[in-house]
C-alpha cells in the first residue's frame, strides 16, 4: 500500500506535537504575567503602607502641638487618654491597619528619632528587609 503525501498535507487540523508546543508557550507566558502581577501587588501594598505612615506621622505632629509631647500609644490619636489639652480625634476614622491586615508598630521614645512608626511588612516579622519604616 502506497501512502500519498499530498493527501496527508491536505488534511486540516493540528498534530499533537503542535498542540503541546502551543500549550507550553501559553503556560510560559502565563507564568511571566503572573509573576509580574504579584510583584506589582507587593509594590502597591508597600506604597500604601508608606502613605499611611505619613498620615499617622501628621496626626502625631498635631497631637504634639496640642499636648506638648507625643502619645504613649497610637490609640491616643482616636481616643482621649484623659489629657485636658487633647483636641482630637486626630484621625478621620479608627486606627488603620497596614495593607497586610496587621497593626502599625509605634515606639515612643523612638530608637531612630523622636518616635518610631513602622509596619512589619508582608512577613510580619520585625527587622526584615520588607519592613516599612518612618525613619528612612
Q: What's the CA gap between 74 and 134, in Å, rounded?
A: 14
Helices (H), the chain: 5-9, 16-67
pLDDT mean across residues, the chain: 85
pTM: 0.69
Residue 69 has pLDDT above 70, yes or no: yes
**Domain 16-133 architecture:** 2-Layer Sandwich (3.30)
Least confident of 44-58, 76-90, 118-132: 118-132
Predicted pLDDT of residue 9: 57
Determine whether 120 is exposed, middle or buried from the number of CB atoms within 10 Å of its CB (0-12, 13-18, 19+).
buried
Amino acid at each position: 500500500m502506497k501512502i500519498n503525501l499530498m493527501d496527508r498535507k491536505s488534511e486540516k487540523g493540528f498534530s499533537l506535537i503542535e498542540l503541546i508546543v502551543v500549550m507550553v508557550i501559553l503556560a510560559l507566558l502565563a507564568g511571566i504575567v503572573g509573576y509580574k502581577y504579584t510583584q506589582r501587588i507587593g509594590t502597591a501594598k508597600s506604597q500604601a503602607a508608606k502613605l499611611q505612615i505619613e498620615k499617622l506621622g501628621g496626626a502625631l505632629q498635631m497631637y504634639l502641638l496640642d499636648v506638648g509631647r507625643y502619645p504613649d500609644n497610637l490609640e491616643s490619636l482616636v481616643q482621649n487618654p484623659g489629657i485636658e489639652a487633647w483636641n482630637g480625634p486626630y484621625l478621620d476614622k479608627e486606627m488603620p491597619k497596614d495593607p497586610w491586615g496587621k497593626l502599625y508598630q509605634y515606639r515612643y521614645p523612638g530608637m531612630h528619632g523622636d518616635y518610631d512608626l513602622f509596619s512589619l511588612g508582608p512577613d510580619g516579622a520585625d527587622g526584615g528587609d520588607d519592613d516599612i519604616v518612618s525613619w528612612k
